[in-house]
Amino acid sequence: MQRSILISVFFFFVSFLSVAQYSRADSLRGALNPDRTCFDVHFYHLNISVDTAAKSIAGYNEIVFTVLNQTERIQLDLFSNMTIDSIVFHRLKLSYTREFNAVLVDFPGYLMQGVQEKVRVYYHGQPVQAKKAPWDGGFVWKKDKNGNPWIGVACEGIGASLWWPNKDHLSDEPDSMRISCEVPNGLQCISNGTLLMTQEGKKGTIFHWKVHYPINNYNVTLNIGNYVLFSEDYISGNDTLNCDYYVLPHNLEKAKAQFKQVKPMLAIYEDLFGRYPFWKDGYALVETPYLGMEHQGAISYGNKYMPGYMGHHPEGIDFDYIIIHESGHEYWGNSLSVKDLADMWIHEGFCTYTEALYVEKFYGYETAIKYLKAQLPGIDNDKPIIANYDVNEEGSNDRYPKGSWMLHTIRNLVNNDSLWFATIKGITTDFKCTNVDSKMIEKYMEKKLGVELTPVFDLYLRHKEIPVLKVEFEKSCRNVKLNCRMESVVDGFHLPVKYSVDGGISWKLLFSGSDETSFIVTKKEFKQIQFSNDLYLFKVEMFAKEKVKK
């Protein structure tokens, strides 16, 4: 009875908060209700067969978990278009109910706290096909230029439960995982982790992969095709990291040239963030029929061996965006992972900023500023970066460029690069293979940097507006008086803005502790006035002072 009351109160609370905008399905998908918090997943064994002709999959997922709170029921997740054949527990078939994409599994008695248990979910069906992977995710069923099946899956945001049954909440990752996939003979299945072995199956060849580290569910992937493999070693001290590249045969030579970027990148990332976090599993790029995705240890690559983002890049900065960005996610998103989709700025903001740091290390600081400025047009200021929690909602896409510029702003507020880079590396090492939320990262950075950052985080993450430098000018016969004030929707927010009146040769401090100031310049200086736009994220609005009518 007590459990039933708690569940009812929980869902009433969630429904009350969500009545205007969110549905029961959103809460089931995004919230940590008692049927989810009662158990902790340790291991998945996903064992399926792929029918490339029927575009269907069939098999089971075995789920090993520890009971955290005594319970008679747990919630798993699998999209409603997928058919559950049975759920087996100690050779017993369990009863279950389905509500939207949630699967509420009932046990014959209480599962006791602290006990490790396992269930096996048998299922089959045709999984959702991606409309535009990786943004609108699902399975991608294509053929290569020789007519061979070429298949991939990307499901960030929409969720891994679109194709396999699991506890589909970002807060709970298995400690390790095994992925067994049977594909037609003549094809390969490339998945996450280390290839343990292949064996003959009833309908083709079974590929067995082992992930030795925690992995978030949307990072689990399959890549099926007629691949060729080439490899190289990255040396770090006395250790060797295996780097594998799976590409289509006709692109082998292109790939060998393009992927030469990998080892220098790994060295830069090791310097910035520490050793590659999934050393035992190795590093891999896998050619895919969609642009790319940060699948852990098996990064999806579809940039067509072009520089930049499908050939588009700032002048003089011609690295392969997919290699650099998606590999950055091995630290930001795969090793360090968020607990709720609302905090995805931690994945994307840090990773987008990582691109700029890569440019700084490879090309120099001035080029990095050029790269950062190329990110500015992508900022829409349409809604907050952090979305609502517990409903599986992402915030604004500004989490990419605006998140990057927020970090760049903080770096310049701190004005101590040795401390800044030590703190960034500290985040990736201290939170390695863990799940975090925004408040954890904010408090960590404040403590390590010794700077009050609450107004900064609140402004850039929880409001859509960026600060505005209002410059009111009043001309006289010889001079111009400027009245400047920094306007922000967050109290206590300050920026030490600089200005120049000689074309950027020398700079003077406009603001320090106060957000209002006035000064006088000559008309010649006024024509050359500019406010620093390479250190902080803000905009400038200049306007003439209105004359008072007599």
Beta strands in 128-218 (DSSP E): 138-143, 149-154, 176-183, 188-190, 194-200, 205-211
Rounded to 5 degrees, what angle do the CA atoms 230, 232, 234 make? 155
Q: Do domains 227-306 and 331-462 have the same CATH topology?
A: no
- What does the pLDDT read at residue 12? 43
| HSE value, Cβ hemisphere, 13 Å, CA-based, for 56 | 11
> Strand 223-225 to strand 149-154: parallel, antiparallel, or no bridges (unpaired)?
antiparallel
Per-residue pLDDT of 186-221, as tens digits, reads: 999 999 999 999 999 999 999 999 999 999 999 999
Residue type, 397: N
The residues spanned by each domain of the chain are 1-31, 40-223, 227-306, 331-462, 468-544
For residue 74 the two structure tokens come to: 């747990």
CATH class of 227-306: alpha beta
Global pTM reads: 0.94
| HSE value, Cβ hemisphere, 13 Å, CA-based, for 128 | 22
Residue 250: CB atoms within 10 A of its CB come to 11
Per-residue pLDDT of 119-174, as tens digits, reads: 999 999 999 999 999 999 999 999 999 999 999 999 999 999 999 999 999 999 99
For the chain, the C-alpha Rg in angstroms (whole number) is 26
Please list the residues that pair with 223 across neighbouring strands. Answer: 152, 190
- What does the pLDDT read at residue 547? 72
Listed in sequence order, the residues at least 6 apart from 58 whose beta carbon sits closer than 8 Å to its beta carbon are 48, 49, 51, 123, 124, 125
Per-residue pLDDT 10s for the chain (550 aa) are 344 444 444 444 444 444 448 999 999 999 999 999 999 999 999 999 999 999 999 999 999 999 999 999 999 999 999 999 999 999 999 999 999 999 999 999 999 999 999 999 999 999 999 999 999 999 999 999 999 999 999 999 999 999 999 999 999 999 999 999 999 999 999 999 999 999 999 999 999 999 999 999 999 999 999 999 999 999 999 999 999 999 999 999 999 999 999 999 999 999 999 999 999 999 999 999 999 999 999 999 999 999 999 999 999 999 999 999 999 999 999 999 999 999 999 999 999 999 999 999 999 999 999 999 999 999 999 999 999 999 999 999 999 999 999 999 999 999 999 999 999 999 999 999 999 999 999 999 999 999 999 999 999 999 999 999 999 999 998 999 999 999 999 999 999 999 999 988 999 998 766 678 999 999 999 999 999 999 999 999 999 998 756 5
Q: Map 339-382 to HEC letters.
A: CCHHHCHHHHHHHHHHHHHHHHHHHCHHHHHHHHHHHHHHCCCC
The closest of 218, 158, 147, 153 to 187, measured between CA atoms, is 147
Residue 392: CB atoms within 10 A of its CB come to 24
- What does the pLDDT read at residue 513? 60
End-to-end CA distance of the chain: 78
CATH class of 468-544: mainly beta
The closest of 58, 289, 255, 282 to 153, measured between CA atoms, is 289
Architecture of the domain delimited by 331-462: Orthogonal Bundle (1.10)
CA distances from 87 to 61, 76, 181, 391, 399 (A): 10, 11, 20, 27, 39
User: CB–CB of 342/399 below 8 Å?
Assistant: no
40-223 in CATH: which number? Answer: 2.60.40.1730
